[in-house]
Structures are given as structure tokens and as C-alpha cells.
Structure 1
Amino acid sequence: MQCKELSCRYFTTYSGVALPLKLVGELEASEINNRNTYFQAYFDADGVLHCLQRVVYGEMELEHCYSYSEGKLQRTEITDADGELMVVENN
């Protein structure tokens, strides 16, 4: 899915440990200017989360990219602040 097809929303944190992460505490775009830490998330037209980034002091600290098949999570690519990539396959 191309980013231009996704809408960007902002959140304060997430709950739980299951993938995809469940984001909570939605923020307006104007509210992130006064925050040190927030999550920037990209959703498709159906509200499905495809990518999220944890932003700390203006820098991306963590990124999750989710791939789905028939509505089920199939693969998660997790990139940390050092650029290290971890892939989680769901079969």
C-alpha cells in the first residue's frame, strides 16, 4: 500500500503487547508540537493500521510496518532507533 493512500493520525501511547499495537490517546496534529514523545500512525480507508513510528524529540525511535492477508496480520517489520530490523512472521 502506498503512503499517499493512508491517513496520518497521532497518539500518546499504546496498550497491550499484541501486534499490531493498539494505539490510545489520540492527539490533534496541532497538539504534537508541544510533546516530546508521540506515535505517528498511518491507517487505510478502513481504519486498518499499516505503519507507526514512535517519535522522541523529533527523531524516529521505533517503527512498525504491518502487512496483512485476507484481513489477518501476516508480517511485522520492526525497526529500532539504530536502524536494526526485526521481522515477525505470523503463519
Structure 2
Amino acid sequence: MSTDAGQACRFFVSYTGVKLPLRLVTAIAPEQLSNRNTFIRGYFDAAGVLTGFEKIVYGEIELTHSYSYHASGALSRAEIVMLHEDPVTLNFDETGAPIAGQDASVKEAS
């Protein structure tokens, strides 16, 4: 995942939640990254909406989430990629509810 034009990249200690999109918590300044083994690199559109993130562990991307939204602002699609696993794509209806047969809960990783 890379920043597209109009996207801002900010850094965080972790994320929280079991419902998508996950919430990034405890912002950190870029100059603090050299002191961290693990951090989250979050991407935001011009309106400040989270479009995705990467969990960095010892310099490697361990987990990525990419989000897209309906015009209403509700989550439309989430793509989740974990290191050494196949990507998972979840689709959501206009209200942000998972489309039948999908589980939109994500276990929180440490």
C-alpha cells in the first residue's frame, strides 16, 4: 500500500476494535519510529477517512487492511492481507452491514 495523491500517511502505536474498519489509536510522530519495533502506518483521504493501514513489525509488513466506502460513508469493501496468508475480501451493503455469509468481525492481534 502506498500513498496516493491526496492521501496522508500518519503513524500509530496500535489499533482496536472487532468491527471493521478498525480504529487506529495513539498517534506517534515520524521521528519516534526509530525507537519502535512495531507500529501502524495509516492512510487517510483528504476528508480524514481511514482508507487503509499497514502493521509494521521489525521492518516487515505483517498485516494490511484496505477500505473503500459507499457514498453514504458506510464501509463498502475491506481487503485484509496477513503475512503468508491468502487475502480476504469482505463486501458490505449500503448500511455498512456485511453481505450475507460473511463475518465482518476481526480478532484483535497484539
Query: 2 CA distance for matches of 1:81 and 1:24?
Result: 22
TM-score scaled by length of structure 1: 0.93
**Following the alignment from structure 1 to structure 2, what is the Cα–Cα distance between the partners of residues 24 and 38?**
11
Write the mapping of 1:56-67 to structure 2, written as runs, cut at 5 A.
Answer: 56-67=57-68
Structure 2 Cα separation of the partners of residues 79 and 15 of structure 1: 17
Name stretches of at least 5 consecutive residues in structure 2 with no aligned partner.
Answer: 94-110
Instruction: Tell me the equivalent position of 2:79.
Output: 77
Q: Counterpart amino acid of 2:33?
A: I
Which has the larger share of strand? Answer: 1
Cross-structure match for 1:18: 19
The answer on 1:33 being equivalent to 2:34 is yes
Q: Give the secondary-structure state (helix, strand or coil) at the position aligned to 1:31.
A: helix
Q: CA RMSD in A?
A: 1.2
Q: Could you say what secondary structure the match of 1:30 adopts?
A: helix
- How many percent identity over aligned positions? 41
Q: Normalized against structure 2, the TM-score is what?
A: 0.78
> Aligned partners of 2:85 and 2:61: how far apart in 1?
10
Q: Aligned partners of 1:84 and 1:29: how far apart in 2?
A: 30
Q: Could you tell me how far 1:5 is from its partner in structure 2?
A: 1.6
- Runs of 4+ residues over 6 Å off in structure 1: none
Deviation at residue 49 of structure 1 after TM alignment: 0.3
